[in-house]
Amino acid sequence: MSIRIIDIDLVDDGPVRIDEEVEPTPFDSPDSDPVEVLSARVRGEASRGERGVDLEAALNAHVRLQCSRCLEPVDVDLDSEFSLTVVASDVEPPLGEEAEMDLGAAELFVAPDGRALLADIAAEQVALNLPLKPICRPDCRGLCPTCGANRNLLECGCAEREIDPRLAPLLDLKKKRSERS
């Protein structure tokens, strides 16, 4: 059975298996760069819970981001397991001590009209699992601050910047600290 929408009113007591290739709802990264999701799959089970539908699932996604050092495209695989409670938009989350214990077991996903798109859930999970500073490779040399050339591809020949004489004492301090370590 194919399930692309989780309808709170239609999920019975028995678990509903989910194994879907989805196209997550488009969104931008925290740096306002668009996130290109090349593929995403959600696998898991949905079952009736106390406040809505409990979803125990795993996300496997392949996304294309921009290297934070050289700005070249970098492909990243995201794998995560998650637990959500899909609730109708009119359900109020519990307050106080009970809320801390309850939300520790499962996060809430508010579904307008009691229906949650699997694409929206996948987009949220992709966004939560994006690396903060993706890099194309561990030894990425980045861009030249003078001419902007990609240092991974060519040596630009720009001279290293001279240090502002007002900051020279800080450089000396940094050198002394590194010698102690």
Same domain, 94 and 171: no
Same domain, 124 and 150: no
As a whole number, the mean pLDDT across the chain is 85
Asked if residue 30 belongs to a domain, the reply is yes
Same domain, 118 and 145: no
Domain that holds residue 158: 141-181
How many structural domains are present in the chain?
Answer: 2
- For residue 69, what pLDDT is reported? 94
Question: The tokens 């561990």 sit on which residue?
Answer: 138
Same domain, 10 and 49: yes
- Better-predicted residue by pLDDT, 105 or 32: 32
Same domain, 48 and 83: yes
Asked if residue 119 belongs to a domain, the reply is yes
pLDDT tens-digit readout, 54-91? 999 999 999 999 999 999 999 999 999 999 999 987 65
- For residue 174, what pLDDT is reported? 87
Query: Which amino acid, residue 168?
Result: A
Write down the pTM of the prediction. 0.74
Are 161 and 147 within 8 A, CB to CB? no
Asked if residue 134 belongs to a domain, the reply is no
How far apart are the C-alpha atoms of 7 and 87, rounded to whole Å?
Answer: 10
Highest mean pLDDT: which range of 51-55, 135-139, 163-167: 135-139
Q: What percent of the chain has pLDDT over 90?
A: 49
